[in-house]
Amino acid sequence: MPSLHEPKLISGNANLKLSSAVAKRMSIHRGTPVKLVSARVERFNDQEIFVEIHENVRGEDMFIIQSTSRPANDNLMELLIIADTLRRSSAGRITAVIPYFGYARQDRRSKARTPISAKLVANMVAQSGIERVLTMDLHAAQIQGFFDMPVDNLYASPIFALDVKHHFRDCMDEVMVISPDVGGVARARELAKRIDAPLAIVDKRREKAGEVAEMTVIGDVTGKRCIIVDDICDTAGTLVKAAEVLIDKGAAEVHAYITHGVMSGPAVERISNSVMKTLVLSDTIAPTPEVLAAPNIRIVPTAPIFAQAILNIWGGTSVSSLFDHETLEPLYETAYS
């Protein structure tokens, strides 16, 4: 049943630009101004986080926009403290919009005596008063089951499909989608299906965490414009090595589409010096000045899909409808017209 109250947005400090863009898009969709709730989210001298909301939120349908990206712990605590502030201020419903869900790579025990931190974070989110989560491209789909609440997991593949069809419109028959590992085949297959392209796999074997010992290409990439698709780019070591292997196997050129640009340490330098022609990132994580200055890195917006998803949640309508090309394309028509 649609809410009697207007949807209200509040933002942490992780990605204020995205939050403002979501508010702007919601204003366009609704034809009435939507602004971020006036609040103070700051730190004391000892780095304790303090939140003060300057508007009445009693009974309101509240949406907190906050990625738990670097610094992950600070941004996670901001999210939890904002939620607690809203709960104690009698907000009607609290939804956490987490474009990038940190700790998602710790979704299982990889070896003895290790944590399942994604489950711990899910418990903390629930205890803070949050009643629903909206996110994008969870690293592991089973994380949705860690929450005893509704979790809407949006996908970047429909956005990437629109971008690929626009930028490769004159050579779509030469495009091949590449999964950078066996575990990412489902994600790569989804994009390949949307753009009607063949699929190949780079099979990697690790000697230890963070180091790839060997890569093998499964499939013929000769003369193809290869598009590597993945959910996270951290230090970019694996991505750059995969691009080199593809070129060695006869690929004409290599591009990459990554949902979450963590871009730690030497990532930007590696990408800038790599054989990849372009790396396309979404803005679920606020790009650093170095990322924005890199000549072969491009950013695609997620505000249109998040804005519509928030409106659908508020209005009690389908979020999964945004997975369809026909539904999503009008939201991005200005970007690809």
CATH of the domain at 109: 3.40.50.2020
Alpha-carbon distance of 89 to 61, in angstroms, equals 12
Domain of residue 35: give its range.
7-154+303-324
Binding site membership for ATP: which residues? 46-48, 105-106
pLDDT over threshold 80, residue 207: no
State the catalytic residues: 204
Lowest average pLDDT, out of 15-19, 48-52, 121-125, 213-217, goes to 213-217
Structure tokens at 303: 């505000």
What residues contact 23, with CB distance under 8 A and at least 6 apart? 9, 34, 35, 36, 307
Residue 321 pLDDT level (bands cut at 50, 70, 90): confident
Q: Are 262 and 234 a contacting pair, CB within 8 Å?
A: yes
pLDDT over threshold 80, residue 75: yes
Domain shared by 178 and 286, yes or no: yes
Domain shared by 54 and 192, yes or no: no
Binding site membership: which residues? 46-48, 105-106, 139, 181, 206, 230, 234-238
Domain shared by 309 and 288, yes or no: no
Q: Integer distance in angstroms from the first to the last C-alpha of the chain?
A: 35
Binding site membership for D-ribose 5-phosphate: which residues? 206, 230, 234-238
Domain shared by 146 and 240, yes or no: no
pLDDT over threshold 60, residue 1: no
Residue 178 pLDDT level (bands cut at 50, 70, 90): very high
More confident residue, 333 or 125: 125
Domain shared by 124 and 214, yes or no: no
* pLDDT value, residue 8: 96
Binding site membership for Mg(2+): which residues? 139, 181
Domain shared by 292 and 272, yes or no: yes
pLDDT over threshold 70, residue 335: no
* pLDDT value, residue 2: 46
Q: Are 140 and 103 a contacting pair, CB within 8 Å?
A: no
Lowest average pLDDT, out of 36-40, 72-76, 202-206, goes to 202-206
Domain shared by 12 and 150, yes or no: yes
pLDDT over threshold 50, residue 40: yes
pLDDT over threshold 70, residue 3: no
Q: How many domains does the chain have?
A: 2
Q: Are 319 and 49 a contacting pair, CB within 8 Å?
A: no
